[in-house]
Every structure is written in C-alpha cells, then in structure tokens.
Chain A
Amino acid sequence: MKSPQPPRWATRLLETFCAPHLLEEVQGDLEERFHRRVAQFGERVARRRYTAEVLGFLRRRLNGPFALKRPRNEVSPHFFSNPAMLRNYVKIALRTLAHNKAYAFINVVGLSIGLAAAMLILLFTKDEVSYDRFHANHPNLYRITSKRIAPGGTLEGLEGNTGFFQGPKFTAGIPDIQAFVRFQDYLYDTKRGTEVKSQQVFLTDTSFFSVFSFPLLSGDPKTALRQPKSVVISEGLAQTHFGTTDALGKVIFFKQSYGEGVNGPFEPYAVTGVAKKCPQNSSIKFEALMPLVVKQEEIGNDFGWFNIFLNTFVVLKPTANVGRVEASMNRIYRADAKESMKMMAEKYGMKHREDYMLQPFTAMHLSEDLSANNGLVDGSNPLFSYLLSGIALFILGIACINFVNLTVARSLKRAKEIGIRKVVGGGRTQLTWQFLGESFLLCFAAFAFALLLVEAVLPTFNQLANKALSLSYLFDVKLVVSYVALFLATGLLAGFYPALVLSKYDPVQTLYGRFQLSGKNHLQKTLVVLQFAIASFLIIGTLTIYSQFDYLTHKSLGYDDTHVISIEKPGLNPSLDVLKAELLKAPGIVAVAPKNGGQWGTAAKINGETQVEFTYETIDPTYLPLFKIPIAKGRNFSPDFPTDSTQSVLVNETFVKTAGWKAPLGQVVNFWYNEEKYRVVGVVKDYHYEALNKKIGPQLFTMRPKNGYGKAFIKIKPNTETASLRHLEATFKKLFPFSPYAYKFLDVENRRQYEAEAKWKQIMLFGAVLTIFISCIGLFGLATLSAERRTKEVGIRKVLGASASSIVQLLSSDFLKLVGISFVFAFPAAYFATDQWLQNYPYRIGISPWTFVVAAAAAVLIAFLTVSLQSLRAALTNPVKSLRSE
C-alpha cells in the first residue's frame, strides 16, 4: 500500500514562499505531525490539517513576514556579486580558448567577417541617407519638378528639370516661396599661358549662397555672384590655377566651349570668392560658379516654359503647406503660359498637360524617377542600398549561425565540466550566464578584428561604391550607438542558443560517460543546406555575370573601333577640309571623318503622316568607310552627287523595319518643322552606336550643311600611336589655338561603358567568396560534431578491417547528400534570378546548363575538401584510443 503523502501542492506552495534556511525544519515538523495525525485520525483529516498549517505559515505575515525572512548575510547566487566566481569563469574561458586555438580562431574570423560586412553597410547606408542634410535651410529646400499627363489622364513621365522661367515667376507670385536659385551645368575653356583646358562650370543665381550652405574661405557670399564676368572657385581649383587658396581678386581667362562664344576670345573673369571643398555627401559638387545671365530675348521666348535644361531649387517658409504651394504654382503656370500652350498645341500637336510639383531636396539623391541629374552628381539607385544591406544582413546571419554550430560542437568536450558544476551546486541560470559571457568575450574579439578588417578594406569598398568613406565617420554618435547595438545583438544571438543548450546537460549522464548528443541535428543540417544553397546561387550568379560581361566586351559592335582616336571640336565645320588635309600629311594617319558632337535625336514624318523618332547623325562621305560599316542596300553619300547634302539621307536596317518599308530606296523623310524633305539613297547595316545594353534603334544619317560637326575620328595605322598623336596634337593646336585638346581611343572608351557591370561583377565575386568561406566554416563545424559523435563507431569499423578511404567515404557521404539537397533549392532560384537580370540586356547570352554543372561541381568539391579534413582525421585515429573507455 502506498504510504500516505501530504498534499503536494501545499508543499510546493510552502517551498515557494518559505525562506530556504527555515524550510527544512518547517517541512520536517509539518510532515512529522502529518504522519502522526494519519495514525490518529486517518489520511483525509491529516491532509486537511496539514494544508491548514501551511496556510498558517503563510499567514504569519501579520507578525512580520516570518517565513519570508531571509538571513541578512546570505550570499546572492548571482555571479556579479562574487569576484571569486568571476575569476574562475575568466580562467576557464581563457583556458578553453587556449586549448582549442584552431576553433577559436575560425569562430572569431567567421564572426568578424560577418560583423565587418555589417559595419561597412552601416557606413554606406549612413552616408546615403545623410546626403544633402547639411544645408541650414534643410527641411524647407525643394526642387521644382513636373509630371507630364497625357490627354487621357495617364502619367506619361516625370521631369526633374526646368527652364529659366519657373524659378522667378513662381517666386514672384507665391509669398510662401522665400527664394529660388537656378543651377545650370555648362562647359567653359580656360587658358593658362598657352595651355587650354576644359572646365565644368555651373551658372547660378546670386541667391546661391543664401539658399545653400557652402561656406566661403574668402569673399562675400552675398555679393560674390552679382557682377557678370565674376567667378567663385573651389579651393582645389585655386590651388591648380594659382598654387594658393588666396585667390580673391585674381583673374582667370574663360571662353565658352560651345555655343556662340566657342570661337570667341578668352575673357578675364574676376575671382570673387574661394569656396571650401564640397562635402562628400552633397548632390551639388562644384569647382567653379558663375552668375547666370538670362538674355532679354529669352525672357520673351514663347517656348520659355517648355525648354528644359537646368535645375531650379526653392526655399519655402517653414510654415508653408506644400500642397497649397504646388496648387499656386500650377495656377501661375496656366495663367502665364496660356498663349504659349495654345501655340504649342496648334503647331506641334503638344496635347499633354504639365503639372508642377515640389520634390524635397533630400529626397533627390535616392530617387529613381526624379534623380539627381543634369549637373547634380551621385544620383544613386536605392536598389543598390537595399541589395547591399540584404547581403550584409545575410552574411552576418550566417556567421552567427555558424558560431552557434561550432560552439555547440565544441561543447562536447566540456560536458564533464558542466556535470561537475551542476553537482557542486551551479544553477542553470548561472551556467547560462557563464556561457553567454564566454560568447561575448569571443564576440568582442571578433568585433575588434572586424574593425581592423573594415579599415583595411575601406579603400577598395570606396572604389566599388563610388564614395569617400572613412573611419572618421565612425565618430558620429548615431553610428557608434548602432555599432554597439550590433555588437550586443550579435553577441546575444550567437551566444544565447549554445548557452541554453549547454546548461541543459544532465550531470548524471555526462559524468557517467553516458552522454550522447540527442536529436538528429535537424537545425544544423537545415542551416548547412541553406548556406550551401545560397553559396551555389551566388556561384551561378557570378559565373553568369562573368560570361555576360565577357560577351559585352568582346561582342562585335558591327563596326571597327580599333586604332581610332576621337577628338572634340565644337564648330568644326568651317575648318574640316583644312583639318583633313593637314592630318593626312602624317604617314600613320589613314582617314579622318567628322560627326555631330554629342548624341542627337529627333523625329520626322514618313509614309505621309506617321511620325518616327530616331537617332540623328550628321556625317560626311568618309564616315562609314572609316568604321568599315557595310551598306546593305543602295549607296553611301558621295561627292559625285553634290545634291546629297540637301536631298539625301541614309537610314539603318532598324529604321526600315520600324517604317515598314518593303522598298526603302527612294522613300521620303519629311522634316516638317524645318520644311525639308529628303530621299533615302542607302540602307546601312545595323551597328551598335550605343553600349550593348541598349537596343539598336532607328538611325538616320544626313549631311545637312546647317548641322554642326562637333567630333572628328582619326583612323591610324597600328603601332603608329606616338607619331600620329604627336602630329594630331600639333595640328590641332595650330588650327585651333583657343580650343582645349583632348583625345580618346575609341575602343578604350567603349570598354568604359560597362563600368556598372564591372562593379556588379566585383560585388558578386566578393559576395560569393565570402558566402562560400562562411558556409565552409559551417560545414566544418557540422563535420566536427559528427566525427566526434561517431568516434566509437569508426573505431569499431577500423578494428573490423575498414580502410581509411572507406571511412572517409562513409563520413563524407552524409554531407554530400546535404549539398545535393541544397542544389534542389538553389538551381531554380538561380535560373529565375539570372533570367530576370539578363532581361535587362537586349543583347545577352543564353543561360547554359554548363554554368549549373560547374557550380554544382565547385560546391561539391569545396564541401568535400572541408569535410574530408575531419573525416580523414577520424579515419586515422588509433581505434585503441576511442574504444579504450568502454
């Protein structure tokens, strides 16, 4: 018969509330009485009385909380209050690290890579987000933008730029707008002695320095831009021109690079201010500022509202309501431009509506639709930031997971220590704190190492990201706080799970050697699969980018760009024949052909009233032969046909297709706004006149005399670069003493088009290598664990005659299976992603199965190498050692 027991819940209640040093005697007394009562009165009465007595003890609060009293000098179990325990913890932690140097090192390195990636991204994001916030007028600064609405009401497009009118007219009519400033990108040539160079200059209003916060080293910001023919230069430019920043009052000679002043004399501009270097996180970066002068005829220009070529910024009153200001802007626009709009609708069929809006200044940098352009710099795609943040978070996550895996794996060796600690009285919380503390120690070491890593990698990162970040950024309070938060979060994340798992070990099992790792490691296995899936994905991505890049840079452009030098000379027309004659005197120079400067595009009518847009090229008969561009039908321009320049045009094959012409020769192209009609005399084979990431569009060639040439291409014989360049330079300077001379090799320039792709290539490569490295760490941890777990099994197999290689095979096959599973996830995702990415390129490679095969092989090989180290070690251990403890 079971002996009667006092009610358990009452006992538990007592245990909870009674002071521990009194608990034993109280419980003993209660139980003694209970048993006596059972003998006297029976069990039920005894239980009732027991409960009553327990409650009595709890009720004793009336005389002071008796049972709750604790002796005054009891030692708190928390280790913070006890230096002896702390010393022990530190000693054990250091010893553990010293005994497992390899693992500690790998752990720290893995975690520090993750931390370094996260830190770099924090720096990057901080910089991106902080753009343009340094201006004093900051929350009230806006840019005037507009959207085009088609007659049906659909949005046709967004425009970030304006013309001359918007700034002054809106400011005059709306009291909430305090000031406006226009900012126009322009090119001037400067002359120092005989040297002529191009200089980017910004034309702006006198309000520039009161709207924006760009401090001046010398000069008065209020009057600096008041006089025409004055210029404010940056301290860098002052150094270049005068060797000192004390340039106030000095004179620089400028002339316009294009436009009406292109051949004019150099005129002296007085330096009215020297400005400090623009900060790194500014969309406005200037070397030279000049006052914007709006000519009289511009003010009355009917098209004034519709010419778009500069940026206008306004400062609103702090109390202004943006919506109401926008409404007022549109009211003024419709009133002032009523006549012009009617004229545009009649003459040019311009039926769409313009709605003006205000874009906050700080939103420009990260905006995709209304980006910082036309003189503003560093317009950034937020996609880039999101992607980088994603990658960094991901790497950090994986690093933490690996840390967890490795720590748990190594903990087997400490099972006995944990058992003993528990036996002598350590509580679970105490143990948890101990292991958490060890993790924090490692994390701290990783953090310090990560800082060093960041410092080392920063220059490369800056180059990749087009920034000038430096560690001095770190002294920003918010960033320091975020780094500390990062450290704490990582330490907790990485240390929490192992601490929990380790403190759970049962002392009986560990000390009697019955310790076995429970469970099938589902968590760890899933993590390894995940890591390898991502690693394979990145390998495939990298391989794809590499081949696409290769393709882009090696694909035939449809014309011969080798050994071709290009020079710029606006207003070339009058001097073209002289230039050709002079240049061809050199033996190395084979041909010279002109073209319009920049990229022109326009529209014309064909087939009656159909309007087609096309790229508009102004050339001469030597152009197409110089580049070896074949003519598919008809003929090239030729001096034998003197009417070519006024009556003939050439079109390319895409033009013919777009126009739907079956017989292109003889078709009419109507430039109706100039009232000129031309006939097609030849069809040019399509060639890539733009970078390969743009589709070939319709192209039309003309020799119209009124169009200006702005460039010249010079074809030279191979290996005659030096001589030809020397001759070219001499001729140019003789003919155009007032124009800056700069030459480019066309094939080099064409390579430069793919800078963005080159960057992506590098980033993917880094990402892939890092992920693979970290995945290997993870796999290494798992392999260690498994090898440790199976030492006895391996020992027995060896004793029974298994060879080392069969054991390696046995141990590795598990992991190779995991890697195989990861492919199942990685390949479809990779296929989808690469397909999407390649859609951006009209000319692209196909996705070949070889990429996947190579990626799979690479992943398997890497996994095998990682695992085989441990498997080999397990296979080579002396079975005596592993079986001895049986």
Chain B
Amino acid sequence: MRRTYLGEFEEVVLLTVAVLGEGAYGVAITDELERQTGRAVSLSAVHAALHRLEEKGMLKSRLGEATAERGGRRKRLFNVTVLGSRALSDIRAVRERLWDAISPQTLPAFGL
C-alpha cells in the first residue's frame, strides 16, 4: 500500500473536486462542501487545502475565464491527477477493508 498522507479535510476537498468535475474552483468547492457536510467552511481554508494538494501533486490547475461578478478576475479550475485518484482509491480500499472486518452486531445500533 502506498503511503499517502492526506488530512481529513484535504481528503474531503479532493473528493469534492472530483464530484464537481469541470467546474471545480474555490467558491464552487466551498459551496458544495457546505452543502455536503452541513458545516460552515471558510474560503481561506479551502484555498489553503487546494494549494497544498496541488503542491503534493494530487491536483492540477489551470486559469479559467473571467466574469464581471469577479471584477474581471479569472478563476482557477482544479482537476484530480492520477496520483490524486490513486490516493483516493487507496484510502477507500483501506476504509472498506476495515468496514468489512467489523463483525456484525459490534457497532452499537443507532436509530434509522
């Protein structure tokens, strides 16, 4: 198993980028995260995570089009790289193995 060190927040951001596909940029990612996790996410945290991920090689970015709403400034669009997708599937594999290994009735039941 490859050793990938990915923080929890970073993993979530990476997943969201994958979810958004072509329109993954700062504001969109933050909105999606807020919708999905239900908690307030700060734009600066998302930006920080995005750039850390890019430095690690999990994301690649390009500058997109500018809009008037942004005061004529372009947006940076992110896509998941091969390395990033491998990291994600590795994490998923680990999780799934662990889930499979739990014998039934171990986890306390919680209401549906």
Contacts of B76 in A (CB 8 A): 25
Alpha-carbon distance A31/B27, docked complex (angstroms): 10
Contacts of B71 in A (CB 8 A): 27-28, 31
Q: Does B35 contact A (CB under 8 A)?
A: no
Q: A29: which of B43, B45, B66 is its contact (CB, 8 Å)?
A: B43
Q: Does A59 contact B (CB under 8 A)?
A: yes
Q: A25: which of B48, B67, B69, B74 is its contact (CB, 8 Å)?
A: B74
Q: Does B70 contact A (CB under 8 A)?
A: yes
Alpha-carbon distance A29/B45, docked complex (angstroms): 13
Q: Does B42 contact A (CB under 8 A)?
A: yes
Can you list, as one digit per residue, whether each of B23-35 has a CB less than 8 Å from chain A (1) or not (0)?
Answer: 0011100000000
Q: Does B44 contact A (CB under 8 A)?
A: yes
Give residues of chain B (56-77) contacting chain A, Cβ–Cβ below 8 Å. Answer: 63, 66-67, 69-71, 73-76
The residue in chain A whose Cβ has the minimal distance to the Cβ of B64 is A25
Contacts of A27 in B (CB 8 A): 70-71, 73
With contact pairs A53-B42, A56-B42 given, residues A24 and B73 touching in the complex (Cβ less than 8 Å): yes
Contacts of A59 in B (CB 8 A): 44
Contacts of B27 in A (CB 8 A): 29, 32-33
Q: Does A60 contact B (CB under 8 A)?
A: yes
Can you list, as one digit per residue, whether each of B14-54 has a CB less than 8 Å from chain A (1) or not (0)?
Answer: 00000000000111000000000000001111011001100
Can you list, as one digit per residue, whether each of A39-71 has a CB less than 8 Å from chain B (1) or not (0)?
Answer: 000000000000001001101100100100100
Q: Shortest Cβ distance from A562 into chain B, in angstroms?
A: 99
- The reply to whether B26 and A29 form a contact with Cβ atoms under 8 Å apart is yes
Q: A32: which of B47, B48, B70 is its contact (CB, 8 Å)?
A: B70
Q: Shortest Cβ distance from B52 into chain A, in angstroms?
A: 8
Q: Shortest Cβ distance from A498 into chain B, in angstroms?
A: 37
Contacts of B45 in A (CB 8 A): 56, 60
Q: Shortest Cβ distance from B6 into chain A, in angstroms?
A: 14
Q: Is the interface of A mostly helix, strand, loop or mixed?
A: helix
In this complex, how many residues of chain A approach chain B with their Cβ under 8 Å: the count is 20
Contacts of B75 in A (CB 8 A): 25, 28-29
Q: Shortest Cβ distance from B87 into chain A, in angstroms?
A: 19
- With most chain B CB atoms within 10 A of its CB, the pick from A22, A24, A27 is A24
- The reply to whether B43 and A53 form a contact with Cβ atoms under 8 Å apart is yes
- The reply to whether A31 and B69 form a contact with Cβ atoms under 8 Å apart is yes
Alpha-carbon distance A33/B47, docked complex (angstroms): 14
With contact pairs A22-B51, A63-B48 given, residues A28 and B43 touching in the complex (Cβ less than 8 Å): no
Alpha-carbon distance A823/B70, docked complex (angstroms): 66
Q: Does A35 contact B (CB under 8 A)?
A: yes
Q: Does A30 contact B (CB under 8 A)?
A: yes
The residue in chain B whose Cβ has the minimal distance to the Cβ of A35 is B69
Alpha-carbon distance A56/B47, docked complex (angstroms): 11
Give residues of chain A (715-772) contacting chain B, Cβ–Cβ below 8 Å. Answer: none
Contacts of B48 in A (CB 8 A): 60, 63, 66
Alpha-carbon distance A56/B25, docked complex (angstroms): 18
With contact pairs A25-B26, A60-B48 given, residues A30 and B43 touching in the complex (Cβ less than 8 Å): yes
- With most chain B CB atoms within 10 A of its CB, the pick from A24, A28, A30, A57 is A28
Q: Shortest Cβ distance from B1 into chain A, in angstroms?
A: 26
The residue in chain B whose Cβ has the minimal distance to the Cβ of A5 is B71
Contacts of A393 in B (CB 8 A): none
- The reply to whether A31 and B73 form a contact with Cβ atoms under 8 Å apart is yes
- The reply to whether B70 and A66 form a contact with Cβ atoms under 8 Å apart is no
Q: Does A26 contact B (CB under 8 A)?
A: yes
Q: Shortest Cβ distance from A859 into chain B, in angstroms?
A: 62
Q: Shortest Cβ distance from A33 into chain B, in angstroms?
A: 6
The residue in chain B whose Cβ has the minimal distance to the Cβ of A30 is B43
The residue in chain A whose Cβ has the minimal distance to the Cβ of B73 is A28
- The reply to whether B70 and A28 form a contact with Cβ atoms under 8 Å apart is yes
- The reply to whether A31 and B44 form a contact with Cβ atoms under 8 Å apart is no
- The reply to whether B47 and A57 form a contact with Cβ atoms under 8 Å apart is yes
Can you list, as one digit per residue, whether each of A672-690 has a CB less than 8 Å from chain B (1) or not (0)?
Answer: 0000000000000000000
- The reply to whether A33 and B43 form a contact with Cβ atoms under 8 Å apart is yes
Q: Shortest Cβ distance from A32 into chain B, in angstroms?
A: 5
The residue in chain A whose Cβ has the minimal distance to the Cβ of B48 is A66
Q: B70: which of A29, A57, A69 is its contact (CB, 8 Å)?
A: A29
Contacts of B69 in A (CB 8 A): 31-32, 35
Contacts of B74 in A (CB 8 A): 24-25, 28
The residue in chain B whose Cβ has the minimal distance to the Cβ of A66 is B48
Contacts of A66 in B (CB 8 A): 44, 47-48, 51
Q: Shortest Cβ distance from A35 into chain B, in angstroms?
A: 5
Q: Shortest Cβ distance from B23 into chain A, in angstroms?
A: 13
Q: Shortest Cβ distance from B31 into chain A, in angstroms?
A: 9
Contacts of A26 in B (CB 8 A): 26, 47
Q: Shortest Cβ distance from B62 into chain A, in angstroms?
A: 11
Alpha-carbon distance A426/B45, docked complex (angstroms): 35
The residue in chain A whose Cβ has the minimal distance to the Cβ of B71 is A31
Alpha-carbon distance A27/B39, docked complex (angstroms): 23
- The reply to whether A56 and B43 form a contact with Cβ atoms under 8 Å apart is yes
Contacts of A35 in B (CB 8 A): 69
Contacts of A24 in B (CB 8 A): 73-74
Contacts of A56 in B (CB 8 A): 42-45
Q: Shortest Cβ distance from A832 into chain B, in angstroms?
A: 69
- The reply to whether A60 and B44 form a contact with Cβ atoms under 8 Å apart is yes
Alpha-carbon distance A59/B42, docked complex (angstroms): 12
With contact pairs A56-B42, A59-B44, A60-B44 given, residues A28 and B51 touching in the complex (Cβ less than 8 Å): no
The residue in chain B whose Cβ has the minimal distance to the Cβ of A49 is B43
Alpha-carbon distance A24/B70, docked complex (angstroms): 10
Alpha-carbon distance A53/B30, docked complex (angstroms): 13
Alpha-carbon distance A63/B51, docked complex (angstroms): 12
- With most chain B CB atoms within 10 A of its CB, the pick from A25, A56, A63 is A25
Contacts of B66 in A (CB 8 A): 28
The residue in chain A whose Cβ has the minimal distance to the Cβ of B68 is A35
Alpha-carbon distance A31/B66, docked complex (angstroms): 12
Alpha-carbon distance A839/B90, docked complex (angstroms): 105
Alpha-carbon distance A31/B44, docked complex (angstroms): 13
Alpha-carbon distance A69/B42, docked complex (angstroms): 19
Alpha-carbon distance A30/B25, docked complex (angstroms): 12
Q: Shortest Cβ distance from A66 into chain B, in angstroms?
A: 5
The residue in chain A whose Cβ has the minimal distance to the Cβ of B46 is A29
Can you list, as one digit per residue, whether each of A59-101 has a CB less than 8 Å from chain B (1) or not (0)?
Answer: 1100100100100000000000000000000000000000000
Contacts of B67 in A (CB 8 A): 32
Contacts of A60 in B (CB 8 A): 44-45, 48
Give residues of chain B (72-107) contacting chain A, Cβ–Cβ below 8 Å. Answer: 73-76
Q: Shortest Cβ distance from B59 into chain A, in angstroms?
A: 13
Q: Shortest Cβ distance from B43 into chain A, in angstroms?
A: 5
- The reply to whether B42 and A29 form a contact with Cβ atoms under 8 Å apart is no
Q: Shortest Cβ distance from A11 into chain B, in angstroms?
A: 10
Q: Shortest Cβ distance from A486 into chain B, in angstroms?
A: 52
Q: Shortest Cβ distance from A41 into chain B, in angstroms?
A: 14
Alpha-carbon distance A573/B37, docked complex (angstroms): 132
Alpha-carbon distance A57/B30, docked complex (angstroms): 14
Give residues of chain A (599-617) contacting chain B, Cβ–Cβ below 8 Å. Answer: none
Contacts of B63 in A (CB 8 A): 25
- With most chain B CB atoms within 10 A of its CB, the pick from A27, A29, A32, A33 is A29
Q: Shortest Cβ distance from A696 into chain B, in angstroms?
A: 95
Contacts of A28 in B (CB 8 A): 66, 70-71, 73-75
- With most chain A CB atoms within 10 A of its CB, the pick from B47, B51, B52 is B47
Can you list, as one digit per residue, whether each of A244-282 has a CB less than 8 Å from chain B (1) or not (0)?
Answer: 000000000000000000000000000000000000000
Contacts of A69 in B (CB 8 A): 51
The residue in chain A whose Cβ has the minimal distance to the Cβ of B42 is A56
Q: Shortest Cβ distance from B37 into chain A, in angstroms?
A: 18
Alpha-carbon distance A22/B74, docked complex (angstroms): 11
Q: Told that A32-B67, A60-B48 touch, could you supply 6 new A-B pairs with CB distance under 8 A?
A: A25-B75, A28-B70, A31-B70, A56-B43, A59-B44, A66-B51
> Lowest 4 A-B CB distances belong to which pairs?
A28-B73, A28-B70, A56-B44, A29-B26
8 A-B pairs (CB sep. < 8 Å): A25-B47, A29-B27, A29-B47, A35-B69, A53-B44, A56-B44, A60-B48, A66-B48
Residues of A within 8 A of B (CB): 22, 24-33, 35, 53, 56-57, 59-60, 63, 66, 69
